[in-house]
Amino acid sequence: MQEFIQEPLGFIHTAAALLAMFVGAWILWKPKGTRAHRYLGYVYFASMLLLNLSAIPITNMTGSIGLFHVYVAISLPTTLAAMYFPMFGRSNPYWKQRHFEFTYWSYVGLIVAFVAEAMVRLPLLMLTDREIADRELEAAVGFWQALVVMFAVMALAEVIFRGYRKRLFG
């Protein structure tokens, strides 16, 4: 487990991810525009910010910047855009729709990253007695499996998104 959580920074990253997953689900499921929605939106934003910033120095899987760091380059601007519209973009007549779209895809990205991390890291946790080369091979196989599952999750999310957006915005 030490390898998975990687000291305090890994714990902070994991805790922020779990908080964002639970709060984000609540935000997307419950009524919009309420006091609770706004408050939990700030919690989601802060946890996503912490999650993204803490991900940058974590390199224990590859020893350097890797594909998972690309998620930061996608997730951080998406999360910032989600907060931009309710805070500064209300002059845009479609600000609520844009806020929803960026929040939704921020959350989908979080879930996709969670699935990918789990598929790549969990097999490594089970391989405590194998050689390093075997572990690297398992990581590579897990990576490609995760990639396929990520695209499947995103395709399903797109179908759900279209229905949800149509229901909210016509």
The model's confidence at residue 166, banded by pLDDT at 50, 70 and 90, is: confident
Q: Residue 8, exposed/middle/buried by CB under 10 A (0-12, 13-18, 19+)?
A: exposed
pLDDT at 4 over 60: no
The model's confidence at residue 8, banded by pLDDT at 50, 70 and 90, is: confident
Phi, psi dihedrals of residue 27, rounded to the nearest 5°: -60, -45
CA angle 170, 27, 45 (to 5 degrees): 115
Tokens of 11: 């714990």
User: Taking Cα atoms as reference points, which of 151, 153, 125, 154 lies closest to residue 138?
Assistant: 125
pLDDT at 66 over 90: no
pLDDT at 159 over 60: yes
Of the chain, the percentage scoring pLDDT greater than 90 comes to 45
pTM of this structure: 0.80
Q: Are 30 and 36 in contact (CB under 8 A)?
A: yes
pLDDT given for residue 111 in this prediction: 92
> Which of 42-46, 54-58, 132-136, 161-165 reaches the highest mean pLDDT?
42-46
pLDDT given for residue 51 in this prediction: 94
Q: Are 59 and 65 in contact (CB under 8 A)?
A: yes
pLDDT given for residue 1 in this prediction: 44
Convert the pLDDT of each residue in 125-158 to its tens digit.
555 555 554 656 666 666 677 778 888 888 888 8
